[in-house]
Amino acid sequence: MNNPIDAQAMKAELIRLLCQKSFKMTAEPSFKLVSGRMSRYYVNCKPTTLSPRGMFLTGHLVFDTLRSEPVSAAGGLTFGADPIAMATAFVSELFHHPIQAFSIRKTQKDHGMIRWVEGDIQPGERVAILEDVVTTGGSTLQAIDRARRSGLDVVLVVVLVDREEGGLEAIQREVPRVRVIVTRSELEREMNIRLK
């Protein structure tokens, strides 16, 4: 399959799907974040990235972002990045441009081969770190650190949804090249259109 991806149409559809399955907003701060802070916005990408259509759209859009990058693999912290990495690897095979998927553990194995990263990748490979949602950037920074400690060369970060709350800037201090598929502002615009 060598047909070009209609990224603009796929992104518009992904935004609609995220608004349907993964994004909520309220007039007053109602949602408690990991940090303990309250927010007007709730984003849980898993209902989208684990759905057949969401996986299709996410895989194509992330692959389209990576296809011209010098990376051999893409993955991130389990569990948020896992469906994105797997969808991207699957699509990459369809386009005869293989990008391996990998997963970074939250806790290190204490048996067998002790390692943070699971997948068919070797130290020295150039990789992209994937993230489903960025707020402060903490989990992405953890993934970058563990990938580097495993000998991987992190050259790029791809974020499915940026909440636009400062996390991107924190990530860029470690990995300057960051690509965002969808922003919170785009989701908010779509939700406001739906509510009219």
pLDDT in tens, 61-112: 999 999 999 999 999 999 999 999 999 999 999 999 999 999 999 876 565 5
Strand ranges (E), 105-145: 117-119, 126-134
Residue-level pLDDT at 33: 81
**Share of residues in the chain with pLDDT > 70 (%):** 94
Report d(CA 131, CA 12) in Å as an integer.
19
Residue-level pLDDT at 110: 62
- The whole-number average pLDDT for the span 25-51 is 91
Kindly report the pTM of this predicted structure: 0.93
**C-alpha closest to that of 84 among 50, 111, 110, 115:** 50
pLDDT tens digit string along 161-193? 999 999 999 999 999 999 999 999 999 999 988
**C-alpha closest to that of 118 among 91, 154, 156, 79:** 79
Query: Using an 8 Å Cβ cutoff, are 89 and 99 in contact?
Result: yes
- The whole-number average pLDDT for the span 12-30 is 95
Where does the pLDDT of residue 3 fall: very low under 50, low under 70, confident under 90, or very high at 90 and above?
Answer: low
Check whether 126 has a pLDDT greater than 90: yes
Query: Using an 8 Å Cβ cutoff, are 111 and 73 in contact?
Result: no
